[in-house]
Amino acid sequence: MVFRFAIAEGLARRDPTVDLSSALAPAKPVQHMASLRAGDIPSFFARLGSYDGAEQTRVAIELMLHTMVRTADLREATWAEVGREQWRIPAARMKMSLEHIVPLTPTSRRLFDRLRELSGGSRLVVPGEKPGKPISQNTMIFALYRMGYHSKLTIHGFRRTASTILNESGLWEPDWIERQLAHVEENKVRRAYNAAQYLEHRTRMMLWWSDYLDRAKDVGELLG
């Protein structure tokens, strides 16, 4: 662009970067995690409701949708982190080493309550078969495969689904959505001055998201 401008202004005779075009490798397209579109959510709930594997896995998958967290956040969660109003994930377990607060909705509390019953007194929210160890990192993704979503959906893709629907609703500020996804501001100056949690706003947003999913689940149950 600089050389084309220079040529137009009479400051250069040719664009030498043209000679480099064949030598440079083309940029690789960004690979997004496979996710659900809004219209796919009811049928997803219909399949989840018919899942014939462990109930703990089914409940954990539904909780992942409602809380928008990363897989490791739930796999490694302990009951000490989970209150009635919030799930506070300690900084030591977060990707960006910052404590992350997840406002809990009535539905997410109900799902946590069921997981507590299924955990059998374990300190872990989703204990695996080996004592003191959580479920495998592949447990939930393999469940999606059994449900017919191989190469069509990932657990991490739930986060993209939530982000897309929340942004397209026009009801919520992008900063609130990004904070709920535990994304850190890329602009270093803005990051240094913006320590806002937007907790009140995010609590309302998460309630709206849970209600949205609950309505989709009701439709899915009719389809199932």
| Active-site option among 156, 160, 198, 212 | 156
Q: How do beta strands 86-89 and 100-103 pair?
A: antiparallel
183 is known as an active-site residue: yes
- Which alpha helices (DSSP H) does 78-186 contain, by range? 106-118, 139-146, 157-169, 174-180
87 beta partners: 82, 102
| Active-site option among 110, 114, 160, 183 | 183
70 is known as an active-site residue: yes
156 is known as an active-site residue: yes
Measured distance CA(51)–CA(46) in Å, rounded: 9
| Active-site option among 66, 70, 179, 202 | 70
- Beta strands (DSSP E) in 47-174 are 86-89, 100-103
193 is known as an active-site residue: yes
| Active-site option among 58, 75, 100, 159 | 159
CB 87, CB 77: distance < 8 Å: yes
Query: Cα 170 from chain centroid?
Result: 19
65: Cβ–Cβ under 8 A, 6 or more apart, which residues? 158, 161, 162, 213
114 is known as an active-site residue: no
Report the candidate in 154, 163, 74, 71 with the shortest Cα–Cα distance to residue 111: 74
| Active-site option among 14, 37, 88, 95 | 95
159 is known as an active-site residue: yes
Active-site residue list: 70, 95, 156, 159, 183, 193
